[in-house]
Each structure stands twice: as structure tokens, then as C-alpha cells.
Structure 1
Amino acid sequence: MKYLIVIFFLLTLVLAEGNKLYAQTPQGNVMIITNLERAFPENGSMAEFDSLTHQYQTKVWDKNPYVISHRTVRHWWGHDNRDVIEITEVKTWEDIPKAMAKSNELFMEAWSTKEARDKFNKAYDKFFTGKHSDEIYQEVTFKK
């Protein structure tokens, strides 16, 4: 039994290290894509939505050192006008949790009281149904 455990451990170690040989080194930046379903509240306007989105952009995304770029786009033309897509670009996979933690920190600084955060969240959240999806992509790069 002792030898079986040792052999199992060594085999696991070899396989784990062997997988690194086949892994490709990441080349491009990482894109976090969030697709949100927009609601159309009677007590809200696109001007209000744009203003709230701009506030968050300038107070959080633009100040986040881990975020290379961030865009919020809303559906403009086609069969389904409910899509709002957020595209956040970071350098590496490891930067994702750092960027999210820093965004949370910047949000807490920008809206420094619980009342201010609740007011902003209530105003912004009314524009969404709660349905969304999150995906992470890596930029495609080509070797020359």
C-alpha cells in the first residue's frame, strides 16, 4: 500500500508537470464580457442611464490601474434591444480578481456612505432585469 501511494503521488506529479508542457503561453489581453438584459422602467430615461453609466466609468473604471480599457455598449439596431454589454480589458488572468477588488474599493470611495451606494445602486439597477451572462475571452494575437 505504501508503494502504491508513492507511485500514485509520483504519477500525479508527472502528469501535472507534463500538462504545463502542452499549455501555450498567453499572448493577448483578457476580455471580461458581461451581457446584461436591460429593463425599461417607466421612471427612467436613457439620459439617466447614460449619466449613471458615465459616473461609474469616470469614478471606477477609469481609475482602476488593472483595467486597460472598459466599454459599456447598448443595443442600437436589430431584433432585440435589451442587450447592454460591458467589455473590460485586463492584461492577464491574474489581473481579473485584482481588477474586481480594486473596482469595489473605488466604488466604496466614490460613494462613501451606505446611503449613497444604495441610492446609486437602486437608480442604476432599475435599468436591468437581473438576467445576465459572464464570459472571459483572450485576445487573439498573430505571430509575425
Structure 2
Amino acid sequence: MKTTTNLKFIAMASIMFLLNFSVFAQNEAERPKYLSVTTMHWNMDKDDFSMDAWKAIEKEYLQKVVSKNQYIISASYYTHLFSPDNSEVLYVQTYPSWEAMEKAAERAEELAKQAWPDETARGKFFKNRDSYMAIYHSDEIYAPIDGAKLIPQDNTKDLVLYVRKTHFTFPEDGSQKEFNEMRAENFAKVLSKNEYIKGYYPNVHAWGSDKTEFIEAFFVDSMCDMEKMFDKNSELIDQAWPGDTGKQRGKKWGKYFTGIHGDAAYTLVAELSK
């Protein structure tokens, strides 16, 4: 991907971080309040590993447990495309409230006992399910914020998820008003007009290891379309803020971020999604 295009887009896309997002006119009342991201890893020592078998196990669990759990709004698996660790598997669940996260775990246990009432059979199923993943995993909780471009609910395609992680600096001379205005303009003039972006979800830290994290999730049809997304964003940015206007704008938002970012891409496993 083109470095100049990416750096330009970092600045524009990373303006949406404060928690007062009423300036957006979108109707997002039904969006979740929290999402959990569990980073797991394939069990690289499993001799009889089968992707089809794993999907069949997870599909059964989805049908019998996750889909019936009223405290979980959505759930999806994402497998590695490019990231520092090719064994990564992300499992993302969303919730209507903080309390729902605790209730979701309790409800999952109840549903599992209903689905597999025989204790031996239940133990065998979960032992097989667990055998596909390494013991180690990590968890983070984020708060979704307004300004999203939602994927159609009837999507059945394995989309590409591009994740950008930037970090806030919380400058004393910053202002809520300034950022709200910039992010509203950015969504209206860039993100909402980019036909290659099938879905866009901005999230801020709620609980975990780094409170400065700003996570943006972009969904596109393919890796090729991800490159086209960057090019289109650059084109739309130049149209919206030509010449020195763009440079002046860059000085306003640059102070809010460290300038360090991380990139990763995953494949949405659509058939395993609620």
C-alpha cells in the first residue's frame, strides 16, 4: 500500500475519539454499548487440525448457544490475513450494556447444559472445541462510538476486516468542539462517500491495557479493494480540503495523536456470525 496515502488517511480517519457524538444525524440507537475482543491462537500442535471440522463445531455452538443468548447482540470470528502473528483468531461479541456481559456468560452456561444435557457428551464436545486453540488468550473491551457506516444485516460474504489502531495524546489545548466539527466533516465528505467501505466502526478504550487506544474497523470486499479504499479516501480528501486548507487542517488534529499506529487485516467468517 502507498505510504503517503496511508499517512494522509491516518490523520483524517483518526479524528473521531471524544465521547460526545451527538453531532451525527445517523440513527444508531440500536448499536451496542460495548464490545469484547478476545484474541486467541490456533493450536499449532494439533495433528488432526481441520478448518472444516472447526467451522462445523463452531457452527453447532453458534446455533445452540450464541444465537439463543439474548444478552449478546452480535458475535463474529476473524482469522488472520496480515498481522504480527499468523496464529491469531479474533472473537468479537457486542452487548447492549456492561451488565449484559456478565449475564451473557451465565446464560451461555445454561444454554450449553440444555444443548448437551449429558455431562459426558458436553465435556467431550467442549474438549474437542478447545483443542483447536492454544491455552493463552487476551481480552479487551471497547466502547463503540457514533459515526459508523453499518454493514447490511443480510451480508453473507467473508469480508476483509482492516483494523487501524492509533493512540491519543490528550493535549491540554485541545477542544471537544474542534474535534466534533472535524470528525463530522470527515464522515460526511470522506467515509460516507467511499463506495469501497462496506462498513466502518470506530471504537474507544473501555477496559484493558491501554486507555489511549482508538480502534477503527473497516470492512471491504477484498484486499484489492482495501488499496482502492485508500486511494479513494485520498481523492475525496483532496476534493474536500484542497491545497493549504488540508495542511492547516492537519496541524489542528496532529497534536491529538502520537503519530504511531498499527495495521492488521483479518477475514470475517460470515457463516459463524450472529
Normalising by structure 2, report the TM-score.
0.41
1:79-90 alignment, distance < 5 Å = 80-90=85-95
Larger Rg: 1
Match of 2:35 among 28, 31, 56: 31
Residue 58 and residue 76 in structure 1: after superposition, are their counterparts in 2 closer, same or farther (change >3 A)? farther
Q: Could you tell me which amino acid in structure 2 is paired with residue 134 of structure 1?
A: D
Q: Which runs of 5+ in 2 are unaligned?
A: 1-18, 21-28, 148-179, 185-274
Distance in 2 between residues matched to 1:111 and 1:117, nearest whole Å: 5
Match of 1:127 among 132, 140, 145: 132
- 1:83 shift after superposition: 0.9
- 1:77 shift after superposition: 4.2
Alignment partner of 1:101 is 2:98: no
- 1:44 shift after superposition: 2.4
Counterpart residue number, 1:73 = 78
Tell me, what secondary structure is at the counterpart of 1:70?
Answer: strand
1:53-68 alignment, distance < 5 Å = 53-68=58-73
Q: Could you tell me which amino acid in structure 1 is paired with residue 50 of structure 2?
A: S
Q: Could you tell me which amino acid in structure 2 is paired with residue 107 of structure 1?
A: A
Large movers: runs of 4+ above 3 Å = 76-79
Counterpart residue number, 2:54 = 49
Question: Which fold has the larger relative contact order, with Cα–Cα distance below 8 Å and residues 6 or more apart in sequence?
Answer: 1
Distance in 2 between residues matched to 1:79 and 1:30, nearest whole Å: 26
Distance in 2 between residues matched to 1:86 and 1:79, nearest whole Å: 17
User: Which structure is higher in helix share?
Assistant: 1
Tell me, what secondary structure is at the counterpart of 1:102?
Answer: helix
Distance in 1 between residues matched to 2:118 and 2:87, nearest whole Å: 31
Distance in 2 between residues matched to 1:61 and 1:108, nearest whole Å: 13
- 1:81 shift after superposition: 2.1
Match of 1:116 among 113, 118, 121: 121
Q: Deviations over 1:10-38 (max 9, x none)?
A: xxxxxxxxxxxxxx79x952101111111
Tell me, what secondary structure is at the counterpart of 2:136?
Answer: strand
Counterpart residue number, 2:269 = none
Alignment partner of 1:91 is 2:109: no
Distance in 2 between residues matched to 1:56 and 1:73, nearest whole Å: 16
RMSD: 2.2
Distance in 2 between residues matched to 1:81 and 1:49, nearest whole Å: 17
Distance in 1 between residues matched to 2:82 and 2:60, nearest whole Å: 25
Distance in 2 between residues matched to 1:79 and 1:35, nearest whole Å: 13
**Percent of paired sites with the same residue:** 29
Q: Which runs of 5+ in 1 are unaligned?
A: 1-23
Distance in 2 between residues matched to 1:111 and 1:76, nearest whole Å: 34
